[in-house]
Every structure is written in C-alpha cells, then in structure tokens.
Amino acid sequence: MATTATTFRDEVAVRVHDLVRTYPHPEGGTFDAVAGISFEVRRGEVFALLGPNGAGKTTTLEILEGLGEPTTGRAEVLGYDVQRQREEVKRRIGVQLQASSYFEHLTLREILVLFGSFYPTRRDPDDLLALVGLTGKRQALVGQLSGGQAQRFSIVAALVSDPEVVFLDEPTTGLDPQARRTLWELIRRINAEGRTVVLTTHYLEEAETLADRVAILDHGELVALDTPAGHIAALGVGHRVRFRLARLVEAEQLAALPGVADADVHANGEATYDLRVTDPAHAVPALFAWATHAGIDLADVRVTTPTLEDVFLARTGHHLRD
Ligand SMILES: Nc1ncnc2c1ncn2[C@@H]1O[C@H](COP(=O)(O)OP(=O)(O)O)[C@@H](O)[C@H]1O
Ligand SMILES: [Mg+2]
C-alpha cells in the first residue's frame, strides 16, 4: 500500500453523518439503537468505539461494513457510500468474523486460501499464519484452537484481501490478559503496516492503550470523541496526590503549596490527604520539603492521573463495567 504521503493522517478513511438505526422495541414501539451519530476516522488511525453492551457499537460497525442498513443518515468508507457503492467498499475493507462461523472441516490454511479466492488481491496464507504465530497450526481445524489462537486467526482472516481499512468487533472479548496483550501487539502491527483500524471495545484499558482516538458511545449516542489524553485533559481534574501524615494538619496549609489546587482530609482514624494538583513536578517536591520543615512523617505517597474510567463516568453518569 502507498502510505508515504505526509498528509496521510489528514485523509478521511471513514465518514459518518447523522447516522440513525431504529429497531422495534421489545416492549412495543421503536427505539434508536444508533441515535444520530457523526464522526470521522482519519487514514492510518486506530479508532475505538468504546461503550457498554447495547451502546450501538456493533450496529454502527455493521453499517460501515455494508452488512447493515441505516434508518437515516449516511456513511462513507474511503470516499465510497456504504449503501450505494457497497462493492467498492467491500473490496477495500477487512472484517473480522466470529471464529465460530468458520468452516468446521477446513484447515486454517484452506480457509485462508478459500477466502483469498474471493478477492483480486490476496496475501499469502503462510505469511498470514506466520504473522500471528500460527504456522504450526496450519493443518489444524478452528475447533482445535485455544480462545486466543482462534481470535488471532479471525483477525488474520480479515487481512486476506490486503485491506486498507480493518473493522474489528470486540477483538479481545473473553480473552485472558496475556492473550489480550498478544492481540494488542498484532493490532498495532496491522496499523503499522499503514492500515486504518476501527475497533469496538468495552474495555477501557484497551481503548486507552491502543486507540489514537476514542469515541465514547452510550445508548446510541456519541457522548465524547478525543484522543485518550485529550479526553482526560478535557475533564480538567488534573492529578491527585495521596499520602498519610503522622499527625493531623490544616488542609489549608497543604492547599497553599505550589502546584496544588485544593486539599481534602480523610480523617478516618489516620490522617489521609488527597490533593488535587495542577503541576505534580512542583507540588510533590514542595510537599516533601514542607513535611521535612514541619518535622512531620510523610508516608504512602501516590500520584494518580485520571483514566478513561473517570472520563466515562463524567460523560455518561455511570460506570463502564467489564
Ligand atoms: N436485529 C435487532 N433487532 C432489534 N434490536 C436489536 C437488533 N440488533 C441490536 N439490537 C439492539 O440494539 C441495541 C444496540 O445493539 P448493538 O449495536 O449490538 O450494541 P453493542 O454492540 O454496543 O453491544 C441493543 O439494545 C440491542 O439489543
Ligand atoms: Mg456488539
């Protein structure tokens, strides 16, 4: 693929405009599973749709893949309308299928050869198996793979057609932490080859570590879209410094330290303090200097930054449970 243009990131890979998908409500009437969302994915990005079960992630992805119909609104992939130019879109995208839907009686290698026969350009099956460490399993059936291996295979099967844009729906759901990390590495490698990756996840850590930008979806609505760092900065909460002191002091004394916005005391038997800090590089040394000068023992100092978990809570009013 030609990925050398310096303006690569400025090109749009996916454009979604006012997308709505209405379904019949189980208790009568209808509801918007996707309630009018708009966003753009730039070429070369890893873009995550983050949200809890039922947020509308799969519905959105299936519309982009040409597998589902929007009720209203439009979507384009690489400039092609996903409804009116479906064949153009399908030729350029890779879609991860669920491992369970593969042909039971074909070996991994045979499945990749078969998939490749559907496309004008295709990648070598042995190269693909090597990419995900499944060379030794080339003659195995999908049913003989571990969960992590099956998931890796389902991703690499999406690469057969050498696609420019890869769609992954919850690529690591149900995997143990080790297998999840292996898959993150694989997704990074796919992206490093110049492919745009659009994935859905309900794992905050996955979105935070993998995605260039994260769209937070809840009840079919896009509630925030930014880089992980941008989401956190937009919260305006800053860092927190927690510690214990050998005796109680006035919170005002601590709040007056440089780089400290305000101070809380949790005097639950012990004096535990919680500082909101705008500038930890100044606040933390100042805190140590203050404690030394005051002759008070300072213990268990921890500096924490807000995470996407805090962002999710602030934007939706509820937690995202794994
Ligand atoms: N074919 C369908 N018919 C009716 N409701 C559906 C259908 N597919 C999904 N839904 C509903 O739409 C909402 C969004 O579903 P989905 O896009 O699968 O969410 P997610 O992938 O974020 O878990 C959910 O409430 C789900 O039950
Ligand atoms: Mg889903």
Tens of pLDDT, residue by residue over 119-147, are: 888 899 999 999 899 999 999 999 999 98
Share of the chain above pLDDT 90, in %: 72
Mutate to test the pocket of ligand 1, among 59, 65, 69, 221 (most ligand atoms within 8 A of CB): 59
Q: Which ligand is nearest to the CA of 55?
A: 1
Tell me the C-alpha distance between 160 and 128, whole Å: 8
Torsion angles phi and psi, residue 261, rounded to 5? -85, -50
Delimit the CATH 3.30.70.100 region(s) of the chain: 238-305
Ligand 1 contacts (CB < 6 A) are 23-24, 33, 51, 53-59
**Is 3.30.70.100 the CATH number for 238-305?**
yes
**Is 1.10.390.10 the CATH number for 8-232?**
no
Q: What is the pLDDT of residue 104?
A: 84
Q: What is the pLDDT of residues 222-281, one digit of tens each?
A: 999 999 999 998 988 788 899 999 888 888 899 999 988 888 877 666 788 988 888 888
The pLDDT of 293-300, averaged and rounded, is 94
Q: What is the pTM of this model?
A: 0.86
The pLDDT of 64-92, averaged and rounded, is 95
Strands of the chain (E only): list them.
Answer: 12-24, 30-42, 46-50, 72-77, 80-81, 93-95, 165-169, 196-201, 213-218, 221-226, 239-245, 260-268, 270-277, 298-304
As given in the structure block, the two tokens for residue 246 are 């050998």
Delimit the CATH 3.40.50.300 region(s) of the chain: 8-232
Atom 7 of ligand 1, residue of closest alpha carbon = 23
- Judged against a pLDDT cut of 80, whether residue 2 lies above it is answered with no
Beta bridge partners of 262: 276
Tell me the C-alpha distance between 221 and 20, whole Å: 10
Buried b (16+ CB within 10 A) or exposed e, 42-51: bbbbbbbbbb
3 vs 79 pLDDT, higher one: 79
